[in-house]
Amino acid sequence: MSTMDMKYDLHSALGYQLTLAARHAERRFERALQGLGLTRITWCVALAVGGEGLSQPSQIADFVGIDRTATSRALRQMQAAGLVTRGRGKADGRTRPVALTPAGMARLERANAIAERARNATESRLTPAEAEQLRTLLSKLRAEDEHPLTRL
């Protein structure tokens, strides 16, 4: 195989560009969340519980877009940190309804302010029309993806 056969224009590849843009946005947001003792996933879980009123791990997993194992891991971390409580199910004891503690609600409120600043920092680089077009295109790229992620 010649060197020409091995050539690939990495820097013009859409997947590479998407990955770089996502990683930069992730890094800025994660650094800001660290001060609250949260990760992107634990913030998303807190948002599902406190912001959306979801209480079942399967609902939370669907909302966040991660699998049940990742959701359970995040919930265990959050419970150990005193951010959520997990109750007992009524019928068979297997379902574990989740609720944010007062500390979890306070942390979510602070994290949402950080998320809003991070969103504004990212979206300010685009016009409103460009931001909407990008959301539409990214949604189109994900349309066929049916399996939840184990990590965000």
| Per-residue pLDDT tens over the stretch 8-66 | 999 999 999 999 999 999 998 999 999 999 999 999 999 999 999 999 999 999 999 99
Contact assessment for residue 83 and residue 48, using Cβ atoms and an 8 Å cutoff: no
Specify the higher pLDDT residue, 2 or 85: 85
Q: Which amino acid is at 7?
A: K
Domains and CATH numbers, the chain: 24-142 (1.10.10.10)
Query: For the residues 129-135, what does the mean pLDDT come to?
Result: 96
- Whole-angstrom Cα distance, residue 72 to residue 103? 20
Looking at residue 94, its pLDDT comes to 62
Whether the model pTM is above 0.85: no
Looking at residue 88, its pLDDT comes to 78
Q: How many CB atoms lie within 10 A of CB 113?
A: 11
pLDDT > 90? residue 151 = no
Between helices 57-64 and 68-80, what is the axis angle to 10°? 110
Give DSSP secondary structure letters for 4-58. HHH---GGG-HHHHHHHHHHHHHHHHHHHHHTTT--HHHHHHHIIIIIT---SHH
Q: How far from chain centre, in Å, is Cα 9?
A: 30
Looking at residue 33, its pLDDT comes to 95
- Whole-angstrom Cα distance, residue 80 to residue 70? 16
Q: Judge residue 84's burial from the number of C-beta atoms within 10 Å of its C-beta, 0-12 exposed, 13-18 middle, 19 or more buried.
A: buried
| Percent share of the chain, pLDDT over 90 | 74
Looking at residue 143, its pLDDT comes to 83
